[in-house]
Amino acid sequence: MASKPRDKTVSIDEVVSRLSNGMTIGIGGWGPRRKPMALVRAICNSDLQDLTVVSWGGADVGLLARAGKIRKLVYAFVSLDSIPLEPNFQRARQHKLIPEVVELDEGMFHTGLRAAAERLPFLPARAGLGSDVLVNNSWIRTVASPYPDEDGAHEELVAVPALKLDVALVHLNRADAHGNAAYLGPDPYFDDLFARAADRTFLSVEQIVDTAELTGDTPVQRLLLSRIEVTGVVQTPNGAHFTSCVPDYERDEKFQKAYATAAAGTDEDWAAFHERFLAGTEDDYQAAVKAFHEEQA
């Protein structure tokens, strides 16, 4: 008799309890798009520290930096789009609050995740050649292709090191209890690559549904993660806020502006924002955001 897929549903607190100090954590999404913000907020309120964070960054990086959780940051950019430079990240960089920083070309970042996903120590790439990425990261090596071109020359390539992840955190629109998950928006970003590059993946979703709903009105090609890649799945409605999670919701520009204003303000400004929105549970956060928009109406 065939065994049934196991139920992998967990709570936000259970996810955080399975993380430990010093871990390398990859965070899916893209800038201000479909970030696992509920999980990020929980990490900020935890005792975790000395993390290595790997991200195409947005407010996830900003919040973790402001909370003093990051020992090492590996990133290609950290932006809120309508606010080009994430203000908490900007503050952390200007005041040298992140001990170690590795800034990569976007192509190199992608190649590093691919290498980790394929369990290779590195992959060759042209991205980064002739740029200051190699000047600022002198530990990154180049290699000569073993295959000569038509002129007999051996092309020099960047040996992009694998971005190995202990844990990946990603947010998608729908999943079943077993960890199969789908995106409903126009772009999968690279969430599947983060999952394959990690030893374990924790997934937050807007809604946990029956498996049949994933393959019914949802096109099969939007099934992004298989249950074999997922360690735990947590239902977190509005869990990507204030980043976008289309078609469920767009980015919350009003709230993002309030966040950025507080982050760029005085320590007292940030403390007030933190106390109102970030000091409590995820339910507290969602209630505070609702009250914020009622005030703005």
In tens digits, what is the pLDDT along the chain, a chain of 297 residues? Answer: 556 789 999 999 999 999 999 999 999 999 999 999 999 999 999 999 999 999 999 999 999 999 999 999 999 999 999 999 999 999 999 999 999 999 999 999 999 999 999 999 999 999 999 999 999 999 999 999 999 999 999 999 999 999 999 999 999 999 999 999 999 999 999 999 999 999 999 999 999 999 988 876 655 568 899 999 999 999 999 999 999 999 999 999 999 999 999 999 999 999 999 999 999 999 999 999 999 999 998
Q: Give the pTM.
A: 0.95
Contact 75, 47 (CB under 8 A): no
The number of C-alpha atoms within 13 Å of 55 and in the hemisphere containing its C-beta is 36
Cα–Cα dist 50/111, whole Å: 25
Residues 132, 255, single domain; the answer is no
Contact 161, 114 (CB under 8 A): no
Residue 224 structural domain: 12-105+163-296
Cα–Cα dist 48/41, whole Å: 12
Residues 145, 288, single domain; the answer is no
SS3 199: strand
Residues 288, 146, single domain; the answer is no
Contact 147, 198 (CB under 8 A): no
114 occurs within a structural domain: no
